[in-house]
Structure 1
């Protein structure tokens, strides 16, 4: 649902509430109780500033294409800006619109060069990691260019605290519209191809847990859980 439609929905709910307003205290008390039956209030609406988590229905829906006439609208611009904001706030490498609660076909990717300093060089090379500037695709289409499969550990901000080994194609081509509505295409290999495949899965209602080697599924902080006698928290905010 587009942000504008969500705003209109909120306005309609407020209008309906005004229409059923009454003057007596008892009637107003009944009114509040009755409204909760059909219009429960929500204090937080998409696009979120956090990642939706596995179990949220939005992650299992096939995201809708962004209509051509809305691609350069303020609503889509706001959604893209929020995606980039959340991507960088959580220091991750990819994000899809459903991960902030918006079921639209939009992804953003960014692999910063500084990550190399945080990983052993052998790991960086084995995973074929290379820097990828911030890249946004609206209504992306992915084509496999190398059918060789690589298996590496993979995590997801929407399956917080866990990881598993996943096979992905070594090379892909991704095309679509950028944030300005201009058609673009990008050839990706290695880890960046993995990022693209991971984010495209989100647009089709899939998670890495659907493809993983189940025997490798593990909690990323299991050692800390043992060391600290279970007193470990996995934050869903930052």
Structure 2
């Protein structure tokens, strides 16, 4: 039996069939009993798939994600992960999520550029960035090939590098090939901003972030003006 030095001598402990029994007679000992029980009681831990975005520094974002096994592509477990990704995408009103961003190191991406996002940009910006609607798309084990090697540089952010942005060069057009949740092979041709979304999410599956290829001179805090106007009293939320 392990001895714990410094415990009251009146405190008796014994282990029987894996069960722990503690008897005590004083208020002080009862207080210690509570502390002792809390020490051994498993704490509730938030486990992936998360309802939030993992942040830079989390090893999962720097790990090359594993392929979804062929025999699990249509499984309930994979469907649950994909549904959580869609939930997070809509919750944070963003355009793309890769499984590592919710703590799951699997090659799954979700993309959507809904019509309502057009209201967030001026017409010149919308057109200059070649933005267009993209229906909700879930791809498992996607592969990508470049179809137009012309590059464009535009500001880009990431929900896993919250509160910052920088200009990043991306290819004009790409082709994505993958499998949907029904196990059907899908081919998608993307150009402009939607091609950028695809390249960004594919990078996540290989443990890369936009900061690895950004124009470092353009890296900035997206709320720097608010920081100054509010004397630094600004918070960047990681939940919603």
TM-score range normalised by the length of the shorter chain: 0.7 to 0.9
Partner residue, 2:28: none
Structure 2: any 5+ residue segments left out of the alignment? Answer: 1-15, 25-32
Considering fraction of residues, name the structure with more helix.
Answer: 1
Instruction: Give the superposed CA RMSD.
Output: 1.9
**Residues 121/29 of structure 1: CA separation in 2 closer, same or farther (3 Å cut):** closer
In our comparison, the structure showing a higher alpha carbon Rg is 2
TM-score, with structure 2 as normaliser: 0.85
CA deviation after TM superposition for structure 1 residue 161, in Å: 0.2
Partner residue, 2:120: 118
* Cα offsets for 1:105-143 (capped at 9, x unmatched): 000000011111221100000000010000010000000
Partner residue, 2:59: 57
Partner residue, 1:176: 178
Number of positions where the alignment pairs a residue of Structure 1 with one of Structure 2: 217
* Cα offsets for 1:168-190 (capped at 9, x unmatched): 00000000001211100000001
Superposed counterparts of 1:44-193, under 5 Å: 44-193=46-195
Matched, 1:23 2:21: yes
Q: Name the CA distance, whole Å, in 1 between partners of 2:60 and 2:229.
A: 36
Q: Name the CA distance, whole Å, in 2 between partners of 1:232 and 1:115.
A: 25
**Residues 42/210 of structure 1: CA separation in 2 closer, same or farther (3 Å cut):** farther
TM-score, with structure 1 as normaliser: 0.86
CA deviation after TM superposition for structure 1 residue 29, in Å: 7.0
Secondary structure class of the residue paired with 1:169: strand
Secondary structure class of the residue paired with 1:59: helix
Q: Name the CA distance, whole Å, in 1 between partners of 2:104 and 2:221.
A: 27
- The match for 1:227 among 222, 225, 229 is 229
CA deviation after TM superposition for structure 1 residue 23, in Å: 2.0
Does the 8 Å CA contact 1:21/1:28 hold for their aligned counterparts?
no
